[in-house]
Structure 1
Amino acid sequence: MSRTDAVQPRHPARAAAFLALGCVGFIASAPSLAADTAPDAEEQARATIVVTGTRDDDSNAKTVAPLLNTPRSVVVVDKQIIKDTGSATLVDALRTVPGITFGAAEGGNPIGDRPFIRGFDSQGSTFVDNIRDTSAQSREVFAIEQIQIVRGSDSTLGGRGSAGGSINIVSKFPRDRTFAEATASYGTADYKRLTGDINYKLTDMVSVRIAGVWHDQNVAGRDALFQDRWGIAPSIKIGGKGPTTLTLGYYHLTSHELPDSGFPYQRTTANAPLGFSYSEPAIGQFTTISGATVSIPRNAFYGVKSRDFRDTTTDQITIRAEHDFGTIKLRNTSRFSNSDQAYIYTQPDDSQGNVYGTNAANAATAGGYVWRRANTRYGYVSTLTNQTDLIGTFDTGSIKHSFSAGLELSWEKARRGIFVTRGYVNPANGNEILSTGALISPRCTAAALVRYYCTTLGNPNPNDPWVNYASDTSTATAPVSRNLAIAETQNDASTVSAYAFDSITITPALILNLGARVDRFKSTTTPGQPIAATSTFSFDRTDTLFNWQAGLVFKPTANTSVYASYATSATPPNSLLGEGLEGNALPTTSGQVSVDILDALKVEQTRSLEVGAKADLFGNRLSLSVAAFRTDTDNARVVGADGNPQFIGKRRVNGIEFGFNGQIRPGWTVFGGYTYLDATILDAGNTIFVVPAVVVGGVTVTPARNIIQPSVNTGRRFPQTAEHSATLWTDVAVTKKLSVGGGAFYTGRVFGTYADNRAVTGVGAAAVVNPATRIIARTIPGYWRFDARAGYKFSDKLEVSVNVQNLTDKTYFISANSAHYATVAPGRSAFATLSVKY
């Protein structure tokens, strides 16, 4: 069956939007890193915001202070950095920021951008122009003006979640002048990319802008993989520089790709060496339990081209109206967005012990195989949001206030299902499943290899002619189809929020920054049911969240500041609406209600304490910042001693961050920093071991019971969190026409999860849990990556540049799945870009 057969989803046209977001003053952008030779007045105004505190009227409704006067750690990735580094996606751009790592798709977590900030999953804390971008997506950069990363607990700013920080994408909207820019790129691995950005001032009152992209590439150093996408983002602004303006914007992105299944981990707890050990991805030279040595190349791809695919579509519509009364501005923003995606991708091995092997005497268990488990999903997320903001300044005597207050209303709906073989039912739960050998044990038998359910570790063939059968044992072929509607899961949510921020200048040297937010968040889950069910049921819950932040800034000089701040965040149950790995989810079966799980759920609370200093040097061309912080989650959801959820888990991150952004001297720009994170799970709760009932002659002699043991995760480092990370991007103008630059990026070891071999031994009342003799950490090693760039300007309007990414062709991994696989980074690639400006 080819990728274009019944598996392919059809994407109905949707509408959505994008708008203006901001971040409590951190969004006063840092100095432009490599400004155009003739920046427009609007760009020059942006560059002076840090000093003057002037508001950026186009993007930041919640900004109440310039960056220097904001008591928070904030990083701004300017559009020039995005361009110079050759970034094409949000993940590409975020890798330039230290302290951000990336998680893989796993469990209930769909494929999409999954950044971790200060050790916390921020997939659900991504915003576009001040509007939460709920759905799991792989975001493009063609319509992005800049990216703002706010670090530390910040539910006061954005609402639910944001324990470690949030990401705000500022979009391209019309400006008050005419300009145009187009780029064309071509490179290795058949890399092809076209972008355009045209802004036209029709009259003094009307400007229009349109940005677009077409992108097509294979993936360097990887077999079979490809990525195709196109997007367009038109917008119009009516009112010019007058007091009343109306902005309309539309955004569309369609993508089609073969997703990367990565490499399986080497070992499970069953075949690990005694004691504590790392289970890293199986690559290079590897010896199985039978003594066979397998050579595993970096280009090994364990997916199946005839089965695997990923299609996504995103549409957004934004309407923004605002009126400037002088010292006060009123803004109202509405957005409708819809994002859908469908995929089947291979998850290699699935911790079945196929890689190293479990028994050398049996060919099916002697190691050297990979199970091609198919993870599947289809679904959509629709969101309607309205925000009203009042922004302004006033004085109370000699004290000056810069404030922002607002009201937000939002409605969200997420619905999802999986691809199945119609009529093939898993006897364990009555659900339909795809025919991939999931019910065969051991996994990689001769029959499984013949059907390509498994493949060899060292020489997988992505062109294997996979065929879908009616079951694992049937010889009849069957189409791949979507769930019945009754088997789909739906999440609905509504939010009502009120917030206010105030930057209070007590004296020119002393500034108090305050913020508070109240959210009423109601969510409803309607779980998918087995196909034999005749009805569905729903769970709902309503939580009221209160969050606040306070910071004090002292300015020894006009261009330096030191600060201390405190901020909170709140993560209610079902915060991600099934669009991420939900650690605090609503129940998914009716049986869970009988143990009062629904009533036991609580809101997870996180708080951050931070001290730091900032300085703008060299005539405000270079910004430096340093911060030390502690983030605590004291009531994380874990398994309690009674086997039910309890909010007794404790996590702590102590860290230090250093950042720099701007020009060391004219023509020499730098961007980057260093982050140290001591992220420890202080209390992970418990693990349940089930002792089965003893039944003799139909009579229960000993009832089933649970044995509670401490979790293996207690005392260990956060998953998906590097202890050390550092980035540096620099660009130097060698002459007026020639510039050279490059980047160095370091990320330390990252852990996926931990596991041990504890198990129940004995039966009945004599049953016990044996002590752990093997503990593994599924992990990816740290790495250095180097990039290079050279550019030549023929004129102010014509430039050519060459980017080389992963200059040393380093083999490294960018994300660690908790149990099954790790995602490998592309190999060395190079591409040239021709840029034309008007």
Structure 2
Amino acid sequence: MAHDDRTHSSSCDARSAPASRDALLPLGAMLLAASVGSWAQPEASTALAPVIVRGTRDRDSQTYQSGVVSVGKTGATARDIPQSLTVVNDKLLQDQGKDSFKEALRNVPGISFEAGEGGRIGDSIRLRGFSVSGDIYLDGIRDIAQYNRDTFNIDRIEVLRGSASMLFGRGSTGGVVNQVSKVPRLATQHQVDVTVGDGNYLRTTGDFNIRTGDNAALRIGTMTTDWDGRAGKASTQRRGLALDYRLDIGSSDRLVLSLYHLDYDDKPDLGGRWLQLRPAPFPADKWYGADSDYQRDSADIATVTHTHRWSDGSSLKTSLRDGEFRRDLWATQVNALAPGVTQASFGPSTVVPRGTQTRAGAEHHSFLQSDYLTRTQWFGRENQLLLGTDIARERSARDGYRNVPLRPSTTVDLADNSPIVDTRVRFAQTQFSSTAVGLYAQDTIELTPQWKLLAGLRYDRFSGNFERSGNAAPNNTPLARSDGVWSKRLGVMYQPRDEVSYYASYGTSFNTSGDLYQYDANSANTPPESSRNIEIGAKWELWDGDLSLRTALARTDKYNERNTDVNQASGEFLLSGQRHTDALEFEVTGRITPLWDIFAGVAFMHAVIDKAGSSASAQATVGMNPGLAPKRQASLWSTYRLADRWRVGGGFTAASKNGPASANAAALANRAPGYTRWDAMLEYAYSDNHSFRLNIDNLTNKVYYSSLYQAWPTVAPLRTVRATWTGRF
């Protein structure tokens, strides 16, 4: 049985609560008109004295609100974090039937997805138009490995927007995405879910929490997923296991031991092709790969976390993690169509030339992270002080293949999926190793009961070595680089009442040349890129804390982006590029009435390339959208309890036209059309502990493109129907 372990606080003031609601009506109306229309405001209830209830809430009683989050490293509520924050929690994932990290993130406006290319495998995400492939975290520790993540052991996903290198080190231009794992509880409770659907879809998940003693518990998470796809489309076979053991040593020490395993054998779909600046109209129910295609990846992660708490409330949390990740891809890509093929002439007999994407590798990551949190009184002011350090040792080996067989062409209508005889020979191509050390300090000062000031400073030292003897000359010589960088974070919060918070913040970030485990002769001579985020915003807790509303206006600048320049000496990069994204966001989550839950957001983005290198091809990109930053995105999910046993729900995700990320002006001109995808849910609880749920995604069978790369767009799944049985015991 899954729970949201968080503190729920409610308080109301007889003098201020009605006035605050009236003051917020214009902004609330604007948000709701943009996302779901309008709704009636319930009558104000009689104010009571402040009441604080602490405990664990069952999924049925929890809302879609964030609660206490860990992405800021201090265990704070969203109102005390002076940056945009969206949380996709376990209840939302369960109601929507989401089974992958990527699908879960479709709830978050501002996020787009890159097709699995650019030499990478696995989840490839853009936030506000900036890559966050190197900014994915698992329980606050970097999870940069190349694999497709699953949600079976996830309690919530926290998306923090804007530069945050002071907290996390290198990366985070657009923000960070933190997965929070389920943790053992001192109770014996279990939940099993079985889902069946079209395309021979079968998924089983188990969440078994066993109290093994007065101060100890074991939590076991299991997952199997099998899907044959439809009409020869791509398929998946996934297996997962998570083991977490918690031991409370007295009242001051807690030890958690965690093991996580995920592996999958997928048949990937790399997509179609751009044609005359639009996606070529390949049929959405056909697949142009071969039955011998595969993507076989695995992740094995071991973590030990110790937390010591002192009687004054101070705490020291130390985590040690070691992870081993393997990947292997052999997939079909659609090559450029023949000259003369147009949108008008494209048809069933159009020849589809095909090529191969094949690469493999392994990664070994080791992390040690420690955070000390305490409250002090300095100069008569309360201070919340965070001191921390993290050490990383990361190794990545990339393998290539020789003697790769050719893929025969097919036609649009035939879509021949005959297997290819494997004649490939695998060889070691490159190896990257790095050491990173970070030291940071942050203080949150309560200037007055209404005003708080946050200030943080961090220093990072990153050293990388790249061995590339498997490449052909002259690209087979070793390369190395070392950088030291300072990062800053500043925020001010005005909180006139417990349910209101206004803030302004400033943060910096940096990206080293070796962020994603490779150098070339140019990047090895290039210092880190720099970025900054400036943001103002407001957060409200309405209707006695049942409904959370936020809005933010932000500007993110990458102001010395790497660019090759014709006037530079050979083997050097010039940090002459600059681009920015302006973003306006609104979000509402929580409970409108005791029967009506909602999760909705809308983002407006204006992304522009401001400067580039002096070459003609680089200059041609100035003024263009850098890609994967649509002007408008929105999402809505809402459920309503019709009776004691029935719930109905649904919603949509929508985006305006979008293009791929590229440094090439011709590729940037490609545009996938905007879309709105509708989903629906119906649930019947035939007892207190057992229920059936029906999820229909893409109700209207809309053809749209969910992942974009400069060479091709990937069409999203058509209508899917899935039924889930849930049992709790």
TM-score interval w.r.t. the shorter chain? 0.7 to 0.9
Q: Which residue of 2 is the match for residue 630 of structure 1?
A: 555
Counterpart residue type for residue 823 of structure 1:
T
Matched, 1:553 2:490: no
**Greater Rg, structure 1 or structure 2?**
1
**1:355-366 matched pairs, under 5 angstroms:** 356=341
Task: Indicate conservation of the 8 Å contact 1:128/1:170, yes or no.
Answer: yes
Question: For 1:322 and 1:402, how far apart are their aligned partners in 2?
Answer: 18
Alpha-carbon distance, 1:354 to partner: 5.5
Matched, 1:401 2:383: yes
Alpha-carbon distance, 1:555 to partner: 1.5
Matched, 1:309 2:309: no
**1:19-34 matched pairs, under 5 angstroms:** none
Matched, 1:466 2:420: yes
Q: Which residue of 1 is the match for residue 271 of structure 2?
A: 262
Check 1:67–1:342 CA distance in 2 against 1; reply closer, same or farther (3 A cut). Answer: same
Q: Which residue of 2 is the match for residue 183 of structure 1?
A: 193
Q: Which residue of 2 is the match for residue 491 of structure 1?
A: 432
Alpha-carbon distance, 1:371 to partner: 2.0
**1:367-766 matched pairs, under 5 angstroms:** 368-421=350-403, 434-436=404-406, 452-462=407-417, 464-467=418-421, 479-483=423-427, 485=428, 488-530=429-471, 537-578=477-518, 586-587=519-520, 592=521, 597=522, 600-643=525-568, 644-687=572-615, 710-752=618-660
Counterpart residue type for residue 717 of structure 1:
N
Task: Indicate conservation of the 8 Å contact 2:156/2:180, yes or no.
Answer: yes
TM-score, normalisation: structure 2 = 0.88
SS of match in other structure, 1:347? strand
Question: For 2:659 and 2:589, how far apart are their aligned partners in 1?
Answer: 30
SS of match in other structure, 1:642? coil
Q: Which residue of 1 is the match for residue 671 of structure 2?
A: 779
Question: For 2:369 and 2:667, how far apart are their aligned partners in 1?
Answer: 50
Alpha-carbon distance, 1:218 to partner: 2.6
Q: Which residue of 2 is the match for residue 290 of structure 1?
A: none
The runs of 5 or more residues in structure 2 that have no matched partner are: 11-52
Task: Indicate conservation of the 8 Å contact 1:713/1:754, yes or no.
Answer: no
Question: For 2:358 and 2:340, how far apart are their aligned partners in 1?
Answer: 23
Check 1:182–1:732 CA distance in 2 against 1; reply closer, same or farther (3 A cut). Answer: same
Counterpart residue type for residue 299 of structure 2:
T
- Residues 413-466 of structure 1 show CA distances to partners (whole Å, capped at 9, x for unaligned) of 011112221xxxxxxxxxxxx232xxxxxxxxxxxxxxx52222343111x253
Greater RCO (CA < 8 Å, at least 6 residues apart): 1
Alpha-carbon distance, 1:120 to partner: 0.4
Indicate the percent of aligned positions where both proteins have the same amino acid. 29
Counterpart residue type for residue 643 of structure 2:
T
Moved more, 791-800 or 62-71: 62-71
Q: Which residue of 2 is the match for residue 92 of structure 1?
A: 103
Question: For 2:111 and 2:664, how far apart are their aligned partners in 1?
Answer: 28
Counterpart residue type for residue 356 of structure 1:
V
SS of match in other structure, 2:91? helix
Question: For 2:554 and 2:268, how far apart are their aligned partners in 1?
Answer: 37
Counterpart residue type for residue 498 of structure 1:
L
Check 1:641–1:505 CA distance in 2 against 1; reply closer, same or farther (3 A cut). Answer: same
Alpha-carbon distance, 1:50 to partner: 13
Moved more, 495-504 or 236-245: 236-245
Matched, 1:338 2:324: yes
Check 1:832–1:153 CA distance in 2 against 1; reply closer, same or farther (3 A cut). Answer: same
SS of match in other structure, 1:157? helix
TM-score, normalisation: structure 1 = 0.76
- Residues 239-272 of structure 1 show CA distances to partners (whole Å, capped at 9, x for unaligned) of 16721121100000010010002111124xxxxx
Task: Indicate conservation of the 8 Å contact 2:562/2:573, yes or no.
Answer: yes
Question: For 1:532 and 1:598, how far apart are their aligned partners in 2?
Answer: 18
Q: Which residue of 2 is the match for residue 830 of structure 1?
A: 721
Alpha-carbon distance, 1:30 to partner: 11
Check 1:356–1:553 CA distance in 2 against 1; reply closer, same or farther (3 A cut). Answer: same
Alpha-carbon distance, 1:106 to partner: 2.2
Question: For 1:563 and 1:30, how far apart are their aligned partners in 2?
Answer: 21
Counterpart residue type for residue 525 of structure 1:
F
Alpha-carbon distance, 1:714 to partner: 1.2
Q: Which residue of 1 is the match for residue 309 of structure 2?
A: 324
Check 1:717–1:674 CA distance in 2 against 1; reply closer, same or farther (3 A cut). Answer: same
Question: For 1:611 and 1:40, how far apart are their aligned partners in 2?
Answer: 31
Dislocated runs of 4+, deviation >6 Å: 27-31, 47-51, 53-56, 754-757
Check 1:30–1:316 CA distance in 2 against 1; reply closer, same or farther (3 A cut). Answer: farther
Counterpart residue type for residue 724 of structure 2:
T
Moved more, 257-266 or 312-321: 257-266
Question: For 1:234 and 1:513, how far apart are their aligned partners in 2?
Answer: 37
Task: Indicate conservation of the 8 Å contact 2:67/2:78, yes or no.
Answer: no
SS of match in other structure, 1:42? strand
Q: 1:42 aligns with which of 41, 56, 78?
A: 56
Check 1:684–1:453 CA distance in 2 against 1; reply closer, same or farther (3 A cut). Answer: farther
Alpha-carbon distance, 1:43 to partner: 3.7
The runs of 5 or more residues in structure 1 that have no matched partner are: 1-21, 32-38, 268-278, 284-295, 361-365, 422-433, 437-451, 469-478, 579-585, 688-707, 758-773
Q: Which residue of 1 is the match for residue 26 of structure 2?
A: none
Matched, 1:102 2:57: no
- Residues 160-215 of structure 1 show CA distances to partners (whole Å, capped at 9, x for unaligned) of 01100000000012112111011011111111010000111111121111001000
Moved more, 62-71 or 502-511: 62-71
Moved more, 496-505 or 60-69: 60-69
Question: For 1:779 and 1:458, how far apart are their aligned partners in 2?
Answer: 24
- Residues 569-604 of structure 1 show CA distances to partners (whole Å, capped at 9, x for unaligned) of 1001111114xxxxxxx22xxxx4xxxx46741210
Check 1:599–1:826 CA distance in 2 against 1; reply closer, same or farther (3 A cut). Answer: closer
Alpha-carbon distance, 1:806 to partner: 0.6
Q: Which residue of 1 is the match for residue 207 of structure 2?
A: 197
Q: Say what the alpha-carbon RMSD is for the aligned residues.
A: 2.9
Check 1:374–1:385 CA distance in 2 against 1; reply closer, same or farther (3 A cut). Answer: same
Moved more, 523-532 or 162-171: 523-532
Check 1:756–1:629 CA distance in 2 against 1; reply closer, same or farther (3 A cut). Answer: closer
Task: Indicate conservation of the 8 Å contact 1:173/1:249, yes or no.
Answer: no
Alpha-carbon distance, 1:756 to partner: 8.2
